[in-house]
Amino acid sequence: MNHAPRGLAAGPAAESPAFLGVARSATGRRWIGPTPDQDRLARAIAQAAGTPAVVAAVLARRGVRPAEAAAYLAPSLRDLMPNPSRLRDMDRAAERLRAAVRGRERIAVFADYDVDGGASAALLIDWLRGLGLGATLYIPDRIDEGYGPNVPAMRALGAEHDLILCVDCGTLSFEPIAAAGCDVVVVDHHLAGETLPDALAVVNPNRQDEESGLGYLCAAGVVFLLLVAANRLLRAEGVTGPDLMGLLDLVALATVADVAPLTGLNRAFVRQGLRVMAGRGRPGVEALARIAGAKGEPTPYTLGFVLGPRVNAGGRIGAADLGARLLATRDADEAAALAERLHRLNGARRDLEAAVLAAAGAQVAARGDGEAPLVWAAGEGWHPGVVGIVAARLKEAHGRPSVVIGFDGEAGKGSARSIAGVDLGSAIARLAREGLIEKGGGHRMAAGLSLSRAQLGPAMDRLGELLAAEGAGAGEPDELTVEGMIDASAATPELAALIAAAGPFGAGSPTPRLVLAETRLAGIRRVGDGHLALRLGGAGTGQLEAMLFRAFATPLGELLENSVGARLHFAGRLERDDWGGRARAKLHLEDVAPV
């Protein structure tokens, strides 16, 4: 299973000279530029496709060949869409879904409580609604039932339904699926074990016997392929299935919120899904965006940091099914009420998160394991709904895989987050196989686990050993990867739009960073809550606006305020800003280095 974007290997940073000689920037990072091979490829792309040099550099970093450049900048879902039958059990699952539709059977959807699970459930509910069928939605309570199917719930659903569709869960649910007493189809993406539950079909690109190469899809992406296959079967019988393109907003939301890599098919899903979302045709998404203050065209940031956390809030600290209900509803009044409730829950979630993060950070600091391959913390009463977010914060702060566990007496439930190149899900699944935790698993970048208090120390020691073997905690210096240089006068909204065409950017396809070398800091002012607005370049029209958010959380704020008139190297993300109806380019500043 390969989650890395296709590209040319740059080799160890120490073997290449630092970009512009910046071995240690103002934030302590080494700047890494294109390799000689990438430079040659970029020149070939620029010549063949007629793209600006910096756009060609962005494509070269992603391993795009000159003949592929035009198609990459305008990806077609039709061209990238695989035959769903490549996935094992897909034909069996699609045929069972077709039969359920034609027979007007009773269908239940059992989903995980996160954005991916909620979006996957909403996809099925929306599709079935288009064929005149309803479905029972069941999402387990995070605290009372935990992740995935459980025996009482599956037995009760099985007694009242002909078919249960388990989405974003079920791959490891042997006993619950056996207890259902009716047909069960699993549509999932979490890592599978050597054996599979006795379901009618287990459609999962991360089965051990899977050869589709689609392991980077989130569950909603797999569900979408199931609906493509089911529509194909219906069409063969003369039945027109629902329009699937209109469902891609849900696939895009799940893909970004689940931090699936934005490469290959995922990239096309998100590109098209953002266009669908811009049409504001889904009442739940529109209501949530409105109450969150999200204006303008949706972006991956909107999906991952504005909508996603609010959809997740119900599953974290409220009613588990709120997010899925919001995404599936077609009633504007219901959407407004659900969005308001989720928005309030998200505020409460932030308060809980802040308290747990402070306690976890203090534990990590007291332990003083700065060179360890793993950062971890555990505490009594830490809410299970926020431990995953806190784990992500610790990972970001320390640059290492992290685990955060909340205990209720002797029983603990935790979440883990990983860094690029370290398969955390497999390591935690191995702990379960070795009997060091009660259960656990997930995927490369995120996982969950349950364990007793007595298991905590030995399990974390063993997990550290497994992650160290994958290179975690190797002590490599922080790096900032840059694509190339531009002048302030060349930073136009048109160039920013061309760079954006190489996106969307996110996990597995980071936003390109450009450098303005030896550029004068012409002016600076404080704005908002600790942000800085800057003017870069010479006098007049050659200047470029820049923003440094949360400026005084790093050394950059004070440095810049004392450097007006000086020449510096500036690194950041060039984006198009249409605020106020006037298009202009703006640099989102990330780092600075002395000349």
pLDDT tens per residue, range 508-563: 888 999 999 999 999 999 998 889 999 999 765 679 999 999 898 788 999 999 99
- Mind listing the domains of the chain with CATH numbers? 13-74+479-594 (2.40.50.460), 80-342 (3.90.1640.30), 368-468 (3.10.310.30)
Q: Where are the beta strands (DSSP E) in 388-438?
A: 402-408, 411-417
- Please give the average per-residue pLDDT across 393-401, as a whole number: 89
Contacts of 12 (CB under 8 A, 6+ apart): none
Whole-number Å distance between alpha carbons of 256 and 50: 31
Q: By C-alpha distance, which of 390, 369, 394, 543 is closest to 461?
A: 369
The phi and psi torsions of 251 (rounded to 5 degrees) equal -65, -40
Q: How many CA atoms lie within 13 A of 169 on its CB side?
A: 29
Instruction: Specify burial of residue 106 (Cβ count, 10 A radius: 0-12, 13-18, 19+).
Output: middle
Q: State which amino acid sits at residue 470.
A: E
Whole-number Å distance between alpha carbons of 428 and 82: 31
Q: Indicate if the alpha-carbon torsion angle 195, 196, 201, 204 is positive or negative.
A: negative
* Residue range 60-91, pLDDT digits in tens: 999 999 999 999 998 889 999 999 999 999 99
Sheet holding 183-187, edge to edge: 136-138, 107-111, 163-167, 183-187, 201-203
pLDDT for residue 2 is more than 90? no
98 touches 233 (CB < 8 A): yes
Q: How confident is the model at residue 475 (pLDDT cuts 50, 70, 90)?
A: low
* Residue range 211-232, pLDDT digits in tens: 999 999 999 999 999 999 999 9
pTM of the model: 0.85
Helix 219-236 vs helix 115-130: angle between axes, to the nearest 10 degrees?
A: 10
202 touches 440 (CB < 8 A): no
Q: Torsion-angle region of residue 435: left (phi > 0), alpha (psi -120 to 50) or beta?
A: left
pLDDT for residue 13 is more than 80? no
- Give the largest CA-CA distance in the chain: 75
Q: How confident is the model at residue 368 (pLDDT cuts 50, 70, 90)?
A: confident
pLDDT for residue 7 is more than 60? no
CB atoms within 10 A of CB 261: 22
166 touches 186 (CB < 8 A): yes
Q: What is the pLDDT at residue 296? A: 85
